[in-house]
Amino acid sequence: MGVSVPTTVCVRALLFASYAEVVGRGAVTLTLTAPATVRSALWELRRLPGGERLPERPLVAVNHTHAALDTPLSPNDEVAILPPLAGG
Amino acid sequence: MGVSVPTTVCVRALLFASYAEVVGRGAVTLTLTAPATVRSALWELRRLPGGERLPERPLVAVNHTHAALDTPLSPNDEVAILPPLAGG
Amino acid sequence: MPFLTTAPLDLSRLVAEVTAPARGGIACFLGVVRDHHGGRSVASLEYSAYEPMAEIECRRIVAEARARWHAEVALEHRVGQLAIGDAAVAIAAAAPHRDAAFAACRYVIEEVKRRVPIWKRERFADGTEGWVDPTQEGGWSDHRVDRVVPQPAPGDAEWGV
Amino acid sequence: MPFLTTAPLDLSRLVAEVTAPARGGIACFLGVVRDHHGGRSVASLEYSAYEPMAEIECRRIVAEARARWHAEVALEHRVGQLAIGDAAVAIAAAAPHRDAAFAACRYVIEEVKRRVPIWKRERFADGTEGWVDPTQEGGWSDHRVDRVVPQPAPGDAEWGV
């Protein structure tokens, strides 16, 4: 009996502020080919209508922590694409 | 007719905090030989009972402005001998 | 206590939270909504946040300042609609001596600006609007949309305040 | 408004005095009476001042900070009897940006400590007293007198509060 290897990773992607406006929505569920990274999630988001206006190297976070484009994604992770921060 | 040259300068000297305690008073009127400086006022103050405990080079002020020991004194000036400052 | 709030900020309450007999210095900072940005007249603005992450980052920043300067630190950031002159962020940092209090206070405001996911949409006196982008020349996003934007779909809980 | 007061300090009022729509950053400082000094337990303390000169120096310091950083600055120093935890000095400095606000606030507290003729007499938990001397090892004056000292003669107007 072989071990079942999942071939896809399902994650929740969040878009905020100006990035939510250009894509027209704040949350998208993505099904990515394993192994998945933030970069592969961003690649899918940039294929959405308006998504071509997302930058190639935005700030990103995974599960509420700042992350990098090559941060790996696990099933049900929350990946957030963050416009330039303007708090304070 | 010659010009009258005053030979003495009368000033008001103030002592504060620990310096007032060692001399036992907060204000002294001093009659100094002209030309007078802060140093000559301090010299007189150090001759008062307890005055020997005043330092030789304290902080000083003349007419509410920080001054030096060789700052000249005019009649009715207010010269203050200031213990180490502890505000703030 | 959450770090984000829609209520007006109260610096006195933050100062009271950090005051203690062993702490002789309290440094504070208030960031206030200005009436001009990039030469344009601002009428009001709205702060939104990725709230769960913003709370976590604020907690981390405060913990870092406490550990590094042996300080007690209180922080609040306002979200939602703000008027000119309203405080958007308030910080109080208390330490035994003033060097540490100032350093901790300064650290917190710098790190809040650098790390906490909060965004600011300005409404200008001429009726247009724009997202503030501190990384861009002029201070607005390339994606700035000079019109009133529809609200996000209801039910999308992750959308910021 | 005088800079010296016997009333409790109110940072909120100072902040309100300096707040304006063009000033986005407000840095504040509170100096609070600590319960220990040099390893000894402090029960209370009394600030006294050479009042006319203290007012003049405070006004000069505030004017310098305003000119150098284009800041608006409010300053108060309390005199008389203070309890542990009371604020002895309060500063609010507002400027268009936070760098200037922090710099102006820091300048004012450093110059107040360096230039304003104010003295502090500590009453310790063991009943003794001493003048604080920041220039001495241990922090007290060589002229420290560990007893209750008679008040200055009435009518000597220059004696501090």
Nearest CA in chain C to D90: C26
Nearest CA in chain A to C56: A64
Cβ contact (<8 Å) for D158 and B27?
Answer: yes
Chains D and C lie in contact, requiring 3 or more CB pairs less than 8 Å apart? yes
CB A81 within 8 A of CB A58: yes
Cβ contact (<8 Å) for D89 and B17?
Answer: no
Q: Kindly list the residues from chain C whose CB atom is less than 8 angstroms away from the CB atom of residue A53.
A: 142-143
- So what's the ipTM on this one? 0.89
- Chains within contact range of chain A (3+ C-beta pairs < 8 Å): C
Cβ contact (<8 Å) for D117 and B26?
Answer: no
Residue A10 belongs to what H/E stretch?
strand A8-15
CB-closest option in D21, D35, D106 to C84: D21
D139 pLDDT exceeds 50? yes
Cβ contact (<8 Å) for C29 and D28?
Answer: yes
**In this complex, how many residue pairs, one in chain B and one in chain D, have their CB atoms less than 8 Å apart?**
104
Which C residues in the span 31-60 are in contact with D, Cβ-Cβ below 8 Å? 31-36
Say whether residue B46 is in contact with chain D using an 8 A CB cutoff: no
In tens digits, chain B (88 residues) has pLDDT values of: 566 777 999 999 999 999 999 999 999 999 999 999 999 999 999 999 999 999 999 999 999 999 999 999 999 999 999 999 999 9
Mutation pick from A11, A12, A18, A54 vs chain C, by most beta carbons of C within 10 Å, is A18
The 3-class SS string of chain C reads CCCEECCCCCHHHHHHHHCCCCCCEEEEEEEECCCEECCEEEEEEEEEECHHHHHHHHHHHHHHHHHHHCCEEEEEEECEEEECCCEEEEEEEEECCHHHHHHHHHHHHHHHHHHCCEEEEEEECCCCEEEECCCCHHHECCCCCCCCCCCCCCCCCCCCC
Q: How confident is the model at residue A1 (pLDDT cuts 50, 70, 90)?
A: low
Q: Tell me the pLDDT tens digit for each residue of A22-69.
A: 999 999 999 999 999 999 999 999 999 999 999 999 999 999 999 999
CB-closest option in C116, C133, C144 to A87: C116
Round to whole Å and give the CA distance between B16 and C108: 41
Edge-to-edge strand list for the sheet holding C4-5: C4-5, C72-78, C87-95, C25-32, D25-32, D87-95, D72-78, D4-5
| Parts of chain C with a pLDDT under 50 | 143-161
Cβ contact (<8 Å) for A65 and C53?
Answer: yes
CB-closest option in C12, C20, C34 to D24: C34
- The encoded tokens of residue C123 equal 């409404």
Q: Tell me the pLDDT tens digit for each residue of D15-57.
A: 999 999 999 999 999 999 999 888 899 998 999 999 999 999 9
Q: How confident is the model at residue D142 (pLDDT cuts 50, 70, 90)?
A: low
Nearest CA in chain A to C77: A88
What are the φ and ψ backbone dihedral angles of B68, each rounded to 5 degrees?
A: -115, 170
> What pLDDT is recorded for position C146?
42
Q: CA of C123 to nearest chain A CA: how many angstroms apart?
A: 14
**In this complex, how many residue pairs, one in chain A and one in chain C, have their CB atoms less than 8 Å apart?**
104
Cβ contact (<8 Å) for B18 and D143?
Answer: yes
Cβ contact (<8 Å) for D35 and C28?
Answer: no
